Amino acid sequence: MSAPASSFAAPPALSYTAECPIIAVNRLKATLKAGGTACGTMLAEFRNASTVQMLQNAGFDFVFIDNEHGPLTNETIADLSRFAKTIGLTPIVRVPDHQYTYVSQSLDAGAQGIMFPRVYSLAEAKKCVDMTLYPPQGLRGNALNRGHTTFQGGVDLVSAMKAHNEQTFIIIQAETKECVEDIEAIAALPGVDCILVGPNDLSISLGVPGQYNHELMQKAINRVFKACKDNNKIAALHINDMALMKFWVGKGVRLVSTQSDIECFVKGATLAAQALKDTFKQ
């Protein structure tokens, strides 16, 4: 009896932009620009690059490398980002704060996008964009021959900066009451690609912690996603409740994230342990 055919699909080869041969195409951004959808998860604790391979094998399109709530060093972020990019899993780093060094070091290391938590205002969102993009769109300092160029140089500097700006994915997290109150202006801001609702912190900020179906939450999330639609920005959501996820996908969400490496491991291990224990009950 022959073994069943494998469903494993090899990841696509890394491709580079037509504008600059050392800047890799951001597959996530290309997919969304073409009208597609994307699914991902958080990586917060497991620091070995093999974890990134497992997530790609599982079928995720991108990974949020969580430097806000994870104990990750610059070296770890660099290793995870570069490996993820080469196997077709777009690496997005969630920085711990709106500080230039967190942004520039992550991008120079090879991340293809930045997610900014705890944004309270248009002014803060503008600062985030400025730190992420090269001139003339932003204020980021330039260094070639780093991870984001696969350690290559020798190209036209203007073309390299333009291509990198176009391939970098900027996510603003809407997880504060103040951000929602300013969301129309934030969504209209050039450079912002995506606004991701973080229901946990947003519910806390609105005074209804953990009540994701609360009227205040529904009203706030609807307002965020309407602002995205009105300004042609990607509406995104990170949530573990699949019923709520499905509901909001029906409202126009095109980028979704759920769980984390920790939760995936614990849930899988729990099922395995329970299955073993159940064998003794038969």
Tell me if residue 238 is catalytic. no
User: Which stretches of 64-168 are DSSP H helices?
Assistant: 74-86, 100-109, 122-132, 157-167
What residue spans define the domains of the chain?
27-267
Least confident interval from 39-48, 71-80, 150-159: 150-159
Length in residues, the chain? 282
Q: What is the mean pLDDT of residues 224-230?
A: 98
Report the SS3 class of residue 245: helix
Per residue in 108-167, pLDDT tens? 999 999 999 999 999 999 999 999 999 999 999 999 889 898 888 899 999 999 999 999
> Above 60 in pLDDT, residue 238?
yes
- Structure token pair of residue 267: 């849930």
pLDDT of residue 7: 56
Q: Report which DSSP code applies to 75.
A: H
The domain made up of 27-267 has a fold known as TIM Barrel (3.20.20)
> Above 80 in pLDDT, residue 28?
yes
Burial state string for 222-254 with b = 16 or more CB within 10 A and e = fewer than 16 = eebbbbbeebebbbbbbbeeeebbeebeeeebb
With the C-alpha atoms ordered 46, 48, 49, 54, is the resulting torsion angle positive or negative? negative
Region of 191 on the Ramachandran plot (φ > 0 left; ψ -120 to 50 alpha; else beta): left
Chain centre to alpha carbon of residue 24: 17
Please confirm whether the linkage preceding 135 is cis (ω < 30° from 0). Answer: no
Options 69, 98, 148, 164, the catalytic residue: 69
Radius of gyration of the chain (CA): 20
Tell whether pTM > 0.85. yes
Q: What is the mean pLDDT of residues 213-239?
A: 97
Q: What is the mean pLDDT of residues 18-45?
A: 96
> Above 50 in pLDDT, residue 1?
no
Question: What gap in Å lies between CA 279 and CA 226, rounded to an integer?
Answer: 51
